Amino acid sequence: MHLDALSGSSRSGDGPVDLDAVRHVSRAVSAAHQFIYFVPESAEEAAGLGVTDRGPAYLAFRSAAMGAVPWQVTLAAFYNFSPRAVRAMAGVWDAAPPERWQAARFLAAGRAMRRVDVQLTEGHLAEARSLIDPVVAGADFAGKVLAAANASLELPP
């Protein structure tokens, strides 16, 4: 099915969109994003911030882009999670502020990629940014709190 089969008021853009391609890109982006929460380097970085419980550390890494919000705000953004699981993250901002969680996530990603010998050159990064930045700049963040929060942050050098 192509999105161009939908009425003009149901979608934006000016050309047909292949839903199989959208699913393929979504899976690739998810795989690139999700690895960070499961590599041992993330647990090590979280422990360095004073949090050794995997659940609160995961939620701190994921929600840090929103700032030092109370667990209830994180629950609203992660509405599909158990309230009890999200409540367990209370206190993570006392262990370290969100900016340190963000930095620790990037450090863990870099360490994990080096461990498996991923070599990203400045050219690779520049090419990726040239493709991704326009997409992020043109994205509709309505109803996508976490995506909006992450898009508002400056990436590290």
pLDDT tens, residue order, the chain (157 aa)? 344 444 444 445 566 778 888 888 888 878 877 889 899 999 999 999 999 999 999 999 999 999 999 999 999 999 999 999 999 999 999 999 999 999 999 999 999 999 999 988 999 989 988 988 888 888 899 999 988 998 898 877 6
Assess if residue 126 is contained within a domain.
no
Residue 18 bridge partners (DSSP)? 2
Assess if residue 108 is contained within a domain.
yes
Number of structural domains found in the chain: 1
Gap between the Cα atoms of 123 and 67, Å rounded: 31
Gap between the Cα atoms of 58 and 33, Å rounded: 13
Assess if residue 93 is contained within a domain.
yes
Assess if residue 89 is contained within a domain.
yes
At a CB cut-off of 8 Å and minimum separation 6, what does 151 contact? Answer: 136, 139, 141
Q: Kindly report each contact of residues 122-126 with a partner whose C-beta sits within 8 Å and lies 24 or more positions away, as own/partner.
A: none
Gap between the Cα atoms of 145 and 52, Å rounded: 27
